A and B are shown apart, each in its own frame.
Chain A
């Protein structure tokens, strides 16, 4: 086949974002491939970028979107609307007329959808699933010939197809490249890329996963997928041309809307010249623009509220008793706020992998996890070394015994006839356990924990010294201290990662730490604590001008975001001198956690009850619970700066918080790292929630209640069809109500504007995100300078939203 055709396939799939398997689910912007284009481009591809305009109008009437925010958004999007016009005897800003149009004429047209070939897609998805599913009991025959080769050999005997179709498949070329070339031979070269793009559009979940798999595993690629699809389509006689989505059309014409508005502005009858003036204004802002302008106003109102509550308090000088370093995850904000109510406690925000990217495996365990952001590749393997060989032997033997038992039960459960015998012999026991699990999930969980020692119960040390050179360890520690903005260190520094404990939850990893590759952050916290407590590293840090006081001890911990309990890790490593501080911290974190659970429970579906703390924590063990927690629902902003900006402010667990102090980052490299890594991860998460909320059936995974796992690849809705991608509806909504407010990420930075501008100029990913309005940045040099907004033409003073009196609000 012509290599150019492969290039055409690559070009057609350029904007498709690879989809990770479910066991390492990480949040990604599903439209990341299009970040080099303006945000509103996707409207042309049938993607909903905003809520129905009627919803925004409701927000407007409820005061959620002030008219000033709407007018500001209008002028920002269409500068010509800043001018004044005359309608009758009234002079008023054009943006006020345009705002009236948006309020009075909500355009309720839904995002268009192209019709798919249901028969072809259904058949194809079954074959893709059969090929990729690692079912241990049945391997697809002829798999060694690749996807196209295996399908072609089996398709000719597939009874689901007619004899005529099977004959056509048999006549198809043997290899995928030749088959694809034959299939597209009738397509004009100038139309080939769009044609292929159209063929990749149905089954977007499988296509995105195949793209990931082609890069990471290599047993399938999009060329072979397209070869099967098109060969089959031709054999079935399907219509190959995919109809273009029909653009949304407004309900009324511009003239009709103008007449309506002009009538409401003039008291002595509507004159044609007044209607013409209004129509000219409306033509500047056509109905198709309304949804995104509403969205901008919606975000502007939130940004105004956020900037209003930020503080400018001076940096505290007293040495704190405890510093708690937590992940930037918005869920940490709640616990930080409650912990800081105690005197002597200071908190900081840092990416949850604590600057220590590792591939981690537990002692004597099979497999390993990539405990690092998806932006980087794992290079350092870290494992555990037991401190007590005898107890390690016992623990391993016990784990193997339980593993063998579980394996035997699973094997008996999965074979053809043995389930009957299993049900006869062990069914009563299993039934009792199931009843206990259903009726008393907490009791079942306690029993399970009593019978299965947790991995952390074995005292171990991490093999940091074997995995990193001293130079690497010292550099990581120095980078961490600079990026965390720690000007002074407390005697006790808690490095607190986070994980989410839930039961029977296929999306467990979506609730774990995104900076740790969708894994709990405990391993990274332990690795970082080991690093900072290492005497050789401390000696090297002195040489870098970053001394750690002798009495400072770093302790690893993990925050369970379902129960809001902090578990101390590696307790055996805490020196006696710090045990009393540790006990004090244990007590206050328990109190802070209980207060946070009570706060969160009010937002959980069905969470308001007399025993809301207990009930919210019970969700972790309830295998029927589809809302164990709300994860990062509501995330809307990221603040990079000292804690003085936000201490004592309730940010409602909606803000990623990364500590940063300009004075500790002389060359700006720390800020560049924050803006090109944690900020990017936060943006991915933000857009994942955004698009899963607005497109729950195409870019979201739909409702969890009908999900079936297909190996560890992902989930299907029902037993066949497309692989679902994105977040399930239970992460972003409840019934018809949204739990997540879809807003593009508002980034707030306290650092020299020149430094921020230089970093943006040097990084295309940031330029794309900002110039194309995927995110916004508002910044100030320090507390003595005003806020500025980044625009593609440079920094502009950030406008404040002065809400007019209610009587002036247009009705």
Chain B
């Protein structure tokens, strides 16, 4: 597809206080980076989440997005799934395409 390279994208939404553990797994999996969006809002299994709060970043939800080669993604997916077995959060996994694959190797 237009000389793009296929990668795997993970989007993980967790309480902000659980985000450090996810970031550590992402780094340990060999991902070269991630994007963090704090104060995300929505409705899910545990009810409504109002989004960003003026003076509390600790009790909001954070979305972490990372892209990595398919070969590295499997283990990270298993690890995140293991972590989410006993704590709240969701993970979305999708194929994605990048123009500069060397950034993600």
Chain A contacts to B: CB under 8 angstroms: 2-4, 6-8, 10-11, 14, 36, 193, 214-215, 221, 351, 355, 357, 373-377, 479, 669, 672-673, 676-678, 680, 759, 761-765, 767
Q: Mark B2-18, 1 if CB is under 8 A from A, else 0.
A: 00000000000001001
Instruction: Determine the distance from Cα of A637 to Cα of B55 in the docked complex, in whole angstroms.
Output: 21
Which chain A residue has the least Cβ–Cβ distance from B41? A762
Partner of A3, one of B25, B46, B49, B56: B25
The reply to whether A357 and B55 form a contact with Cβ atoms under 8 Å apart is: yes
Q: Give 17 A-B contacts (CB < 8 Å), ordered by A residue.
A: A3-B78, A6-B24, A10-B83, A11-B83, A14-B21, A357-B55, A373-B55, A375-B56, A375-B58, A479-B54, A669-B54, A672-B50, A680-B56, A761-B48, A764-B15, A764-B49, A764-B88
Which residues of the partner chain A approach B88 to less than 8 Å between Cβ atoms?
A: 36, 764
The reply to whether A673 and B55 form a contact with Cβ atoms under 8 Å apart is: yes
Which chain A residue has the least Cβ–Cβ distance from B19? A215
Which chain B residue has the least Cβ–Cβ distance from A33? B17
With contacts A3-B28, A3-B79, A193-B86 known, is A762 near B48, CB below 8 A? Answer: yes
Interface residue B20 (Cβ < 8 Å from any Cβ of A)? yes
Which residues of the partner chain B approach A479 to less than 8 Å between Cβ atoms?
A: 54
With contacts A4-B79, A7-B80, A214-B20 known, is A677 near B28, CB below 8 A? Answer: no
Beyond A375-B57, A376-B55, 10 additional pairs, beta carbon < 8 A = A3-B29, A3-B75, A3-B76, A6-B25, A10-B25, A10-B83, A14-B18, A357-B55, A676-B53, A762-B48
Instruction: Determine the distance from Cα of A376 to Cα of B56 in the docked complex, in whole angstroms.
Output: 6
Partner of A673, one of B53, B80, B86: B53
Q: Mark B22-47, 1 if CB is under 8 A from A, else 0.
A: 00110011000000000000000011
Which residues of the partner chain A approach B15 to less than 8 Å between Cβ atoms?
A: 764
Instruction: Determine the distance from Cα of A796 to Cα of B85 in the docked complex, in whole angstroms.
Output: 35
Which residues of the partner chain B approach A678 to less than 8 Å between Cβ atoms?
A: 55
Instruction: Determine the distance from Cα of A214 to Cα of B20 in the docked complex, in whole angstroms.
Output: 9
Which chain A residue has the least Cβ–Cβ distance from B29? A3
Does more than half of chain B's interface fall in helix, strand or loop, or is it mixed?
Answer: mixed
Instruction: Determine the distance from Cα of A11 to Cα of B80 in the docked complex, in whole angstroms.
Output: 10
Interface residue B102 (Cβ < 8 Å from any Cβ of A)? no
Partner of A10, one of B24, B53, B54: B24
Does more than half of chain A's interface fall in helix, strand or loop, or is it mixed?
Answer: helix
Which chain A residue has the least Cβ–Cβ distance from B43? A762
Which chain B residue has the least Cβ–Cβ distance from A193? B86
With contacts A764-B15, A764-B47 known, is A680 near B59, CB below 8 A? Answer: yes
The reply to whether B29 and A11 form a contact with Cβ atoms under 8 Å apart is: no
The reply to whether B47 and A4 form a contact with Cβ atoms under 8 Å apart is: no
Which chain B residue has the least Cβ–Cβ distance from A218? B24
The reply to whether B28 and A6 form a contact with Cβ atoms under 8 Å apart is: yes
Partner of A374, one of B25, B47, B58, B86: B58
The reply to whether A215 and B86 form a contact with Cβ atoms under 8 Å apart is: no
Which residues of the partner chain B approach A4 to less than 8 Å between Cβ atoms?
A: 75, 78-79, 82
Interface residue B87 (Cβ < 8 Å from any Cβ of A)? yes
Least CB distance, B51 to chain A, in whole angstroms: 8
Partner of B24, one of A221, A351, A672, A764: A221
The reply to whether A376 and B57 form a contact with Cβ atoms under 8 Å apart is: yes
Instruction: Determine the distance from Cα of A8 to Cα of B86 in the docked complex, in whole angstroms.
Output: 10
Identify which of A214, A221, A374, A764 gathers the most chain B CB atoms within 10 Å of its CB: A764
Which residues of the partner chain B approach A375 to less than 8 Å between Cβ atoms?
A: 55-59
Least CB distance, A772 to chain B, in whole angstroms: 13
Which residues of the partner chain A approach B25 to less than 8 Å between Cβ atoms?
A: 3, 6-7, 10
The reply to whether B78 and A351 form a contact with Cβ atoms under 8 Å apart is: no
Least CB distance, B67 to chain A, in whole angstroms: 17
The reply to whether A676 and B57 form a contact with Cβ atoms under 8 Å apart is: no
Least CB distance, A80 to chain B, in whole angstroms: 29
Which residues of the partner chain A approach B78 to less than 8 Å between Cβ atoms?
A: 3-4, 7
Partner of A7, one of B20, B50, B58, B83: B83
